[in-house]
């Protein structure tokens, strides 16, 4: 059992209530069983052969959106999301994955994304293909950008072009290893990750820019769990890349943007890769922009959930998004800046015409 290796983590979390109020799922549902300590209690009983993975526990394990808030909040240094991932691997290995999880996995394997899309946007595809020449910098767009938010990919490319950066895409890019791993499909994730890493290495790139914070975190933290290594290449997140370009004066934000703006920190940047200052430094350069922090911000930003949870349990995902929208409505703003695809799409759908939701790459591309 994969959770055996997590026993100390699980046993430390099973009786501890100290992160319950920050758990995204627990906070939004107010249900005792949907908190880290309750999940851990269940897993600890499995470790002691006192119970098995029953339907409800399995469902609860898949409701976790892996936002990392509990881990980041914990002053004892415990990492419950790792235990959730391990539990999912056990669940899959035992053939106990719920049908909706199996269906999602099949969709990801078939279409390389979890957004229900079947093809890369033609405009983005064309733009990507225009950069087929070999370069030292490789851009990894991420399946979410390729399939669900092409405007973000196009914006990022525009920024690099204006900065005079030669870059190349990865042919037939497929970052679904991240989603497969998150769902507990270890073998499939391994296969996909191995292919991805081989493809990256095959380009000879010296530098890898990763647009998706979740994929960046996966490469940094989870690849080693699959016994795969991506050494000898300098990996940088897209936001940090943009920040450096601005710092080095390779691009300049010059257009006025007379709006009241705020910024929602995404899970991946705020709690995994810790890119908290860089988005703010970028926003700080916007002429005319009146920035107000959200009350819950930085590594304490309430999560919007995750795309995987939105596909598996849409009603819970909606409740999580609604809660974050409430937070955003507490402060006066015209524009919400986001830094990951799910945040942008999820918030934009709820805000509609009330407020503009724009990705940070889009905004920078617009203003340079």
Among 4, 5, 31, 349, binds another protein (CB under 8 A): 31
Answer yes or no: are the C-beta atoms of 27 and 100 closer than 8 Å. no
Each residue 282-321 as x (binds another protein by CB under 8 A) or -, in order, gives -------------x--------------------------
Q: How far apart are CA 249 and CA 247, in angstroms?
A: 5
Among 20, 250, 260, 318, binds another protein (CB under 8 A): 20
- Please say which residue, 21 or 126, places its beta carbon nearer to another protein: 21
Q: How far apart are CA 364 and CA 331, in angstroms?
A: 23
Question: Is residue 33 part of the contact set for another protein (CB under 8 A)?
Answer: yes
| Closest separation in Å from C-beta 51 to another protein | 7
Question: Is residue 57 part of the contact set for another protein (CB under 8 A)?
Answer: yes
Site size with another protein, rule: CB under 8 A: 35
Question: Is residue 82 part of the contact set for another protein (CB under 8 A)?
Answer: no
How many CA within 13 A on the CB side of residue 341?
Answer: 26
Question: Is residue 75 part of the contact set for another protein (CB under 8 A)?
Answer: yes
Question: Is residue 78 part of the contact set for another protein (CB under 8 A)?
Answer: yes
What does the angle CA 182 – CA 183 – CA 188 come to, to the nearest 5 degrees? 95
Question: Is residue 322 part of the contact set for another protein (CB under 8 A)?
Answer: no
Stretch that binds another protein, among 38-46, 134-142, 266-274, 346-354 (CB under 8 A): 38-46
Question: Is residue 198 part of the contact set for another protein (CB under 8 A)?
Answer: no
- Please say which residue, 274 or 323, places its beta carbon nearer to another protein: 323
Residue (of 132, 133, 130, 150) closest to 141 by Cα position: 150
As given in the structure block, the two tokens for residue 356 are: 């503009």
Question: Is residue 328 part of the contact set for another protein (CB under 8 A)?
Answer: no
Question: Is residue 4 part of the contact set for another protein (CB under 8 A)?
Answer: no
- Please say which residue, 30 or 254, places its beta carbon nearer to another protein: 30
As given in the structure block, the two tokens for residue 361 are: 């790459």
Among 54, 326, 334, 349, binds another protein (CB under 8 A): 54
Answer yes or no: are the C-beta atoms of 284 and 367 closer than 8 Å. no
Question: Is residue 249 part of the contact set for another protein (CB under 8 A)?
Answer: no
Question: Is residue 88 part of the contact set for another protein (CB under 8 A)?
Answer: no
What 3-state class would DSSP assign to 356? strand
Stretch that binds another protein, among 8-16, 88-96, 130-138, 348-356 (CB under 8 A): 8-16
| Closest separation in Å from C-beta 98 to another protein | 14
| Closest separation in Å from C-beta 29 to another protein | 9
H helix runs in the chain, sequence order:
7-13, 24-29, 36-47, 55-63, 69-73, 80-93, 99-111, 122-129, 143-148, 150-162, 177-183, 186-203, 213-217, 238-247, 267, 277-284, 307-312, 314-329, 341-351, 360-367
The residues that bridge with 339 in the sheet, in sequence order, are none
Within residues 250-269, the interface with another protein by CB under 8 A covers none
- Please say which residue, 61 or 152, places its beta carbon nearer to another protein: 61
Question: Is residue 94 part of the contact set for another protein (CB under 8 A)?
Answer: no
Q: DSSP letter string over 88-102? A: HHHHHHTT---HHHH
What does the angle CA 307 – CA 310 – CA 312 come to, to the nearest 5 degrees? 110
Answer yes or no: are the C-beta atoms of 127 and 157 closer than 8 Å. yes
Answer yes or no: are the C-beta atoms of 345 and 306 closer than 8 Å. no
Answer yes or no: are the C-beta atoms of 236 and 207 closer than 8 Å. yes
Among 2, 24, 36, 42, binds another protein (CB under 8 A): 42
Question: Is residue 19 part of the contact set for another protein (CB under 8 A)?
Answer: yes
List of residues contacting another protein (CB under 8 A): 11-13, 15-22, 30-33, 37-38, 41-42, 44-45, 48-51, 54-57, 60, 74-76, 78, 295
């Amino acid at each position: 059992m994969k959770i055996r290796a997590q026993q100390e983590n699980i046993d430390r979390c099973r009786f501890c209530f100290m992160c319950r109020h920050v758990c995204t799922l627990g906070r939004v549902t107010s249900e005792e069983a949907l908190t880290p300590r309750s999940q851990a209690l269940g897993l600890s009983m499995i470790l002691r052969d006192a119970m098995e993975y029953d339907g409800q526990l399995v469902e609860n394990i898949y409701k976790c959106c892996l936002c990392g808030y509990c881990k980041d909040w914990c002053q004892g240094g415990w990492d419950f999301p790792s235990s959730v991932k391990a539990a999912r691997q056990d669940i899959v290995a035992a053939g106990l994955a719920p049908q909706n999880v199996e269906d999602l996995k099949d969709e990801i394997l078939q279409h390389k994304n979890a957004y229900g899309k079947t093809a890369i946007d033609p405009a983005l595809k064309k733009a990507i293909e225009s950069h087929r020449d070999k370069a030292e910098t490789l851009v990894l767009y991420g399946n979410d950008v390729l399939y669900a938010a092409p405007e973000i990919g196009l914006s990022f490319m525009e920024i690099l072009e204006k900065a005079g950066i030669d870059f190349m895409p990865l042919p037939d890019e497929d970052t679904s290893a991240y989603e497969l791993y998150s769902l507990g499909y270890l073998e499939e994730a391994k296969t996909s990750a191995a292919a991805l890493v081989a493809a990256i290495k095959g380009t000879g790139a010296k530098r890898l820019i990763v647009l998706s914070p979740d994929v960046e975190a996966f490469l940094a933290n989870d690849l080693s769990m699959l016994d795969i290594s991506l050494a000898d290449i300098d990996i940088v997140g897209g936001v940090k890349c943009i920040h450096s370009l601005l710092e080095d004066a390779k691009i300049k934000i010059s257009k006025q943007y007379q709006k009241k703006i705020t910024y929602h920190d995404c899970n991946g940047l705020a709690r995994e890769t810790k890119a908290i200052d860089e988005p703010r430094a970028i926003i700080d350069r916007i002429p005319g922009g009146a920035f107000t922090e959200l009350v819950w911000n930085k590594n304490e930003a309430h999560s919007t959930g995750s795309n995987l949870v939105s596909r598996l349990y849409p009603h819970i995902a909606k409740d999580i998004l609604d809660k974050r929208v409430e937070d955003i409505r507490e402060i006066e703003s015209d524009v919400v800046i986001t830094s990951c695809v799910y945040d942008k799409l999820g918030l934009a759908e709820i805000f509609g015409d009330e407020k503009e939701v724009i990705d940070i790459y889009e905004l920078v591309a617009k203003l340079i």
